[in-house]
Amino acid sequence: MQRVWITGAEGHVGTALTGILDCMEYRLMTTDINEVDITNLSQVIQYVRVNRPDVIINCAGLSDAEYCENHIDEAYKVNAIGVRNIALAAQEVCAKVIHISTDDVFDLQSELPYNEFDETHPKTIYGKSKEAGEKFLMQLNNKFTIIRSSWIYGIGRDFVDKVLKCVGKQTELEVADNQYAVPTSSDELAKLICHFIDHEEYGIYHAVCKGSCSRYEFAQAILEYTNNTDKLTLKPVEGRATYSVLDNMMLRLNGIEEPADWKVVLKDYLNKSGGME
C-alpha cells in the first residue's frame, strides 16, 4: 500500500483530494499548517523521516495574489522555500512529489493558450514565488510532477463563494470583463492528481477544464446556474487586462483524460453543493 502525504490538506485542492482518495487503496497522511508548517525545514524532514511517504502531494501554498503582493517575504517563504523543503525531504526517502502550481507563472499577456513548452515570465509576486517553487522542485528532486491550474474553486472561500455571498446583500457587483482564464473545480483537479500517484509520467502538466471565459462570464454563469440572475446585477468593468488560458498539451500528448468542460463542471458543482463556503 502506497503511503501518500497531503500537505495543505484543508485547502480547496487538499480537501477535494482527501475526499476522493480511497483509504483502502492508500495509506493517507494529511496535514495543514498547524501540524506541519512547510516553511520549517526541520519539521518537514522530521515528518518525512518518521512517516516515510512514497508520494508527497503539496497542496499547501499562499494563493491570494493580492496578499502576496503586500507580503513579499511570506509569499516566497511559503511558495518557494516551502517547496524547496518538501523537495529536499522527499529526496531523502526517494519519494515522488506532486506539486500544484499556477497559470500566473506566465506573463498573462498572450492571445493564445499557454502550453507546457512556453517560457514562463511571471509579472506578479505570487507568480514569481510560484515559479521559484517550481524551479526548486525541478532542481532538487528528479521524481516530480508539477500541475498548473487556474481559477480553482471548491468548498471554501473562492470566486464562486464571493459572488453568491453578494446575492441578497447588494444589488450590483462589478466584475472585470477583460481577464480571461479557465474556471477549474478542485474535484476535477483532484481526479487528475490521483492519476499521477500511480503513474511515473513525470514533468510539467497544465490541467484546466475545457473552454475559457472572462471573469464576467464566470460570474454570469454562477448566477444563471443558481437562478439568481434577477437578484444581482453584474456590471462589466475594465480590470488589469490578463489572458492566462492554459492548454493541457502534456495531458493530450500522454493520452491522459482531460478535465471536463468548465460550464458542465460548474453547473454540476452548484447543483450538488450550492457553492457556498
Ligand X SMILES: NC(=O)c1ccc[n+]([C@@H]2O[C@H](COP(=O)([O-])OP(=O)(O)OC[C@H]3O[C@@H](n4cnc5c(N)ncnc54)[C@H](OP(=O)(O)O)[C@@H]3O)[C@@H](O)[C@H]2O)c1
Q: Which residues are catalytic?
A: 126
The strand ranges marked E within the chain are: 2-7, 26-30, 55-58, 96-102, 144-149, 152-153, 172-176, 179-181, 184-185, 203-206, 213-214, 233-237, 242-243
User: Of 1 and 69, which CB lies nearer to ligand X in the complex structure?
Assistant: 69
* Cβ-proximal residue to ligand X, closest one: 11
Identify residues 106-125 at the interface with ligand X (CB under 6 A). none
**Phi, then psi, of 82 in degrees rounded to 5:** -60, -40
Shortest Å, Cβ 240 to ligand X: 16
Q: Is 82 in the site for ligand X (CB under 6 A)?
A: yes
Q: Is 102 in the site for ligand X (CB under 6 A)?
A: yes
Which residue in the set 4, 6, 13, 175 belongs to the binding site for ligand X (CB under 6 A)?
13
What are 56's three cell numbers? 508527497
Instruction: Tell me which amino acid residue 201 is.
Output: E
Q: Is 84 in the site for ligand X (CB under 6 A)?
A: no
The candidate with the shortest Cα–Cα distance to 87, out of 48, 126, 131, is 48
Q: Which strand (E) or helix (H) includes residue 55?
A: strand 55-58
What are 166's three cell numbers? 453578494
Sign of CA dihedral 154, 63, 8, 134: positive
CB-based contacts of 52, cutoff 8 Å, min separation 6: 3, 93, 95
Instruction: Tell me which amino acid residue 228 is.
Output: N
Q: Is 185 in the site for ligand X (CB under 6 A)?
A: no
Q: Is 183 in the site for ligand X (CB under 6 A)?
A: no
User: Of 182 and 234, which CB lies nearer to ligand X in the complex structure?
Assistant: 182
User: Of 1 and 75, which CB lies nearer to ligand X in the complex structure?
Assistant: 75
Which residue in the set 7, 18, 120, 242 belongs to the binding site for ligand X (CB under 6 A)?
7
CA-atom Rg of the chain in angstroms: 18
Q: Convert residues 129-168 into a mask of x (bound to ligand X by CB under 6 A) and - (unbound).
A: -x------------------xxxx---x------------
Q: Is 242 in the site for ligand X (CB under 6 A)?
A: no
Shortest Å, Cβ 183 to ligand X: 9
List residues binding ligand X (CB under 6 A). Answer: 7-8, 10-14, 32-33, 37-39, 59-63, 78, 82, 100, 102, 130, 149-152, 156
